[in-house]
Structure 1
């Protein structure tokens, strides 16, 4: 699933790093055990369910992410188009916005992962039939609150965090045309100077990237920049949306260097 970069050798994790992994994994398991019963209580009572957001935000915190937010998602609902650096992007964005996500349908074949994804209203999209996402997005949109959001990673894979891969307009087919009243909003995840230490690129296995981040001694600061939503003329087609969103993120990256 990774971006075009040189192959990365399997990291050697020290004893101290292994202890940090164990401590952070324990924190994640305890968080899961605390949040799941509460999630079902809220669901039975048909209340707005904050627990997926709190759980995912807590996962990011347990992994070492220290999140700063600039801007905010549209209060009437937003489709967020974000750059993609690592698995950590998901808990970071979810914790900052309460967003659900568009994910590859292959994840639906992993029982535990699918169960967790379903709790957060994940939309599963088959690569061979992206047109089916139209109906699925509408179903998710109906279940979101007025401050809800759905995130897409238009690069289609992870990058090194210092550059931005081309946006694949095919991944935005569900937004063509955008649902009425929903903003199309670019998001830049800025992991700062430490991004090379955590980006998931090259031939690195996903599990290796997961463990590498959990083994870090230092916390990982990340700024979530919710950029200005696209103007109506920029949403006339999915190609325009992809181009305009990518240009917004590139401009933000340039201003912060």
Structure 2
């Protein structure tokens, strides 16, 4: 985790105007949080549906500069969204559009700010190298599917530059082998026109990526394309599910 001094150094690296944009966007996030938190706790006290995380995360994506457009109709419940992965903005953008919970790599949990934002919508962090804990992770994901309406998985296992699609890792789709009864799979293509400016790739730290995006001038379009859903039970295993989802996202990218 980066120290406060590191954060100040990285912010200064964006110049005066960039630093002012970072400050303005951080201030906007704090204001949104101060407005949303009392409403969130009020909903919990009154035992009414808690809607704050979804809308707050959508606001986070908007403040960061994403102007989200949805194409296609997302399923509302009993669905696993399988998506390509470009940036931490993927999580607040999809959450704002669907209310989905997430499965993400454990490294994201420790990223300053970004990790905390990811926990707001029931992100399940998986240890990619923890072979002994796979059964427990699958059990947690099945419980999440039973309790929540939708879960999003990024089966590439890491972020990309937005133009390439890495092989999908079948191990991350183990919850669909066999799939819970009635659960559908809906592939999702995140189409960033400004992918090189927002992609979180190589050795860049999460904080550095967030500051770089916050320092950008203006906004950028993000089209979330919800593709045709399919029944994973008809495909015979997680590798086939991964191949089918990847083929549909690849076709959408083309």
Deviations 1:89-140 (Å, cap 9, x if unpaired)?
1111111111111133455568987765554222232331222123212322
> What corresponds to 1:239 in structure 2?
239
Query: Structure 1 206/234 Cα, relative in aligned 2: closer, same or farther at 3 Å?
Result: farther
> What corresponds to 2:139 in structure 1?
135
Higher mean displacement: 110-119 or 232-241:
110-119
> What corresponds to 1:155 in structure 2?
156
Contact 1:131 1:174 in 2 (8 A): no
Please give the root-mean-square deviation of Cα atoms over the aligned residues, in Å: 2.3
Q: Secondary structure, in 3 states, of the residue corresponding to 1:200?
A: coil
> What corresponds to 2:222 in structure 1?
222
Structure 2 segments unaligned to the other structure (5+ residues): 1-9
> What corresponds to 1:248 in structure 2?
248
Deviations 1:61-110 (Å, cap 9, x if unpaired)?
01010000011221333111110101111111111111111133455568
Contact 1:230 1:241 in 2 (8 A): no
Deviations 1:127-161 (Å, cap 9, x if unpaired)?
312221232123222332xxx31111100001110
Deviations 1:149-202 (Å, cap 9, x if unpaired)?
11111000011101101100011112211211221111000012x211111112
Higher mean displacement: 92-101 or 231-240:
231-240
Contact 2:65 2:218 in 1 (8 A): yes
Q: Secondary structure, in 3 states, of the residue corresponding to 1:162?
A: coil
In 2: Cα distance, 1:179 partner to 1:250 partner:
26
> What corresponds to 2:105 in structure 1?
104
Q: Secondary structure, in 3 states, of the residue corresponding to 2:179?
A: coil
Contact 2:185 2:232 in 1 (8 A): no
In 1: Cα distance, 2:217 partner to 2:175 partner:
41
In 1: Cα distance, 2:91 partner to 2:120 partner:
14
1:212 aligns with 2:215: no
User: TM-score with structure 2 length normalisation?
Assistant: 0.87
Contact 1:156 1:168 in 2 (8 A): yes
Deviations 1:187-238 (Å, cap 9, x if unpaired)?
000012x211111112222211111111111201000001111244654211
Contact 1:185 1:226 in 2 (8 A): yes
> What corresponds to 2:200 in structure 1?
200
User: TM-score with structure 1 length normalisation?
Assistant: 0.86
1:39 aligns with 2:40: yes
Describe how 1:22-37 pairs up with structure 2 within 5 A.
Answer: 22-37=23-38
Higher mean displacement: 109-118 or 233-242:
109-118
In 2: Cα distance, 1:136 partner to 1:58 partner:
28
In 2: Cα distance, 1:110 partner to 1:67 partner:
24
